[in-house]
Amino acid sequence: MRVAVGSIWHESNTFSPIKTDLKCFQEYELLLDNHIIDYHRGRKNTEMRGIFEITENRHIEIIPTVSASAIPSGPVTTTTFKFLERNLLQRIQKIRGQIEGVLLVLHGAMVTEDLDDPEGYLLHRTREIVGNTVPIGATLDHHANVSRKMVENADFLIGYRTHPHVDQGEVGQQAAKIMSFLIKNKVKPVMKMRKLPALLPGESSVEARSRLVERIKELEKREGILSASFFIGYSLADIKEVGPCVIVVTKQDSQLAEFEANSFAQLMWDLRNEFALKTLTVSEGINQTLATSGGPILFVDTGDCFWSGGGGDVPFFLHSFIKKGVKNAVIAVIVDPKAVDECIEAEVGGQLTVSLGGKIDWINARPIVVTGTVKAISQGKYWGQDFQFTEKQIDMGPTAVLDVKGIEVVITSKRASIHDPAMLGSLNIEPKDRKIIVLKDGLLNLVSYKSIAKETIFFNSPGLANWDYCKRSYKKIPRPIFPLDPLSLAFSNSGNQKAS
């Protein structure tokens, strides 16, 4: 049994001015052929690793093609997408006739300069190459904007159930098990998707989602059901097929898939008001923190979070802390390569006045001019130790720590993962000794800082990832849509749902 595997993974914020080019993939992950196996065997908790664990066990031969991912940012450039597409499809073309299945690791919320649904396009092209009898399956991020084209051209799509995403390995394993079942039993499964007319916040409440995860567990115990998934969607993409959906895949029973997809979609629709996280204003957050003994209190700067498509250089909290006289705080991070160069020039212990931030996300921020003392300079490389990046070396580019009136500002040269406490450790900052740590992060810290943080406060702060969708000027999304328009009818009668 032979299965081709490949991955093109990106979450594209169409409101972001940051172009996603080949360098963005080269800096995060761009691997070809057997390098994919070598790399992911050494990683923990990736979809590829999960796929390899099952296929090795079942003596299924894997034919690796391309594995490419980049940190969320603006749309992928056409030349970059064509390069990645060519590398994936030419390899599948070459082994067509020798493979019995194709497993792809996709995000599901990629947009390119030319395509609003590149994953639908990739699955369609893959289907054209391998034909109707070879099963195609794909894993998707929890924030996928699943399209009809994706559903029409894949035999099954399966998403993460967790946020923070900690189940990539399990989802990879489940996808490989389904693929092996389909090939062995020559089953053509039935997949039904129901899309909800909604824009939901990317950082969503654990409680609301746990009701949906419970439903998945119930459904997947049922005879005849291969998998069930729900997707929160990615609302920062101004595209026609934006938004959440549910998917049910059955072995062969179309009625069962249809019925359960409708019922699951209704449950998600009924919860639509409960996904929003509780947030505070910056003044409320500071007051609450100052009234609390001990620390650290995490301030989650969700509006400028990289992993939701934020720029990473909005100096909103630095500005607010200076104004309010907050001390013993760490800002992790502000991305500003020019400011890092100036800190390097000033050397450790040197004082300088620098213009910080507001250059990448020039839409939501202006640079702030501050005077501080350079506390540390590093190459900006550290080994991830948390759940997601274990055994991966993170490269933030040359990095400096600037002390501005008792606020340590970590200035990096690149947008890179910063939610691992090992990052601060690599700069000799002991998180436990600080009162406030600002992380440009979403829910990830709930796992990575679990044993360290005294409390976590979320802020719907200014930035490219801010989820105040009513203030964004969408042009392509379908209307009416929750919460921008009144939609009071029950989901199943609303006439707004889209069936696969």
In which element (H, E) is residue 209 found? helix 206-221
CB of 236 to Zn ion, least distance (A): 12
As given in the structure block, the two tokens for residue 133 are 């009898």
Which C-beta is closer to Zn ion: that of 142 or that of 419? 142
> How far apart, in Å, do the first and last CA atoms of the chain sit?
30
CB of 441 to Zn ion, least distance (A): 13
What is each CA distance from 156 to 137, 148, 423, 465, 497, in whole angstroms? 5, 13, 38, 30, 20
Per-residue mark of binding to Zn ion, 83-122 (x: CB under 5 A): ----------------------------------------
CB of 92 to Zn ion, least distance (A): 26
Which C-beta is closer to Zn ion: that of 229 or that of 399? 229
- Residue ranges in 15-74 that form contacts with Zn ion under rule CB under 5 A: none
As given in the structure block, the two tokens for residue 191 are 């997949």
Which C-beta is closer to Zn ion: that of 142 or that of 272? 142
CB of 145 to Zn ion, least distance (A): 11
CB of 321 to Zn ion, least distance (A): 29
Q: Which residue's CB atom is positioned nearest to Zn ion?
A: 143
Which C-beta is closer to Zn ion: that of 168 or that of 279? 168
CB of 141 to Zn ion, least distance (A): 4
CB of 104 to Zn ion, least distance (A): 17
Instruction: Report the DSSP beta bridge partners of residue 407.
Output: 329, 404
Kindly report whether the peptide bond that precedes residue 483 is cis, defined as omega within 30 degrees of 0.
Answer: yes
Phi, psi for 379 (deg, rounded to 5) = -75, -10
Cα torsion through 447, 145, 212, 302, rounded to 10? 30
**Total chain residues near Zn ion (CB under 5 A):** 3
- Residue ranges in 142-201 that form contacts with Zn ion under rule CB under 5 A: 142-143
Segments in 233-365 forming alpha helices (H): 254-270, 282-290, 316-324, 337-346
Phi, psi for 192 (deg, rounded to 5) = -120, 135
CB of 481 to Zn ion, least distance (A): 20
Per-residue mark of binding to Zn ion, 387-426 (x: CB under 5 A): ----------------------------------------
- Residue ranges in 268-297 that form contacts with Zn ion under rule CB under 5 A: none
Which amino acid, one-letter code, is at 381?
A: K
Phi, psi for 219 (deg, rounded to 5) = -65, -40
CB of 148 to Zn ion, least distance (A): 21
Contact between residue 118 and residue 10 where contact means Cβ atoms under 8 Å apart: no
Cα torsion through 267, 273, 275, 280, rounded to 10? -170
Phi, psi for 317 (deg, rounded to 5) = -70, -35
CB of 204 to Zn ion, least distance (A): 10
Which C-beta is closer to Zn ion: that of 11 or that of 361? 11
- Lay out the sheet containing 190-195: strands in order across: 225-231, 245-250, 190-195, 498-499
Using CB under 5 A as the binding rule, whether residue 203 contacts Zn ion is answered as no
Per-residue mark of binding to Zn ion, 130-149 (x: CB under 5 A): -----------xxx------
Contact between residue 313 and residue 320 where contact means Cβ atoms under 8 Å apart: no
CB of 50 to Zn ion, least distance (A): 16
2-9 and 101-106 beta bridge pairing: parallel
Tell me the DSSP string of 345-372. HH-TT-EEEEEES-SSSTTT---EEEEE
Residues at the contact surface with Zn ion, assessed by CB under 5 A: 141-143
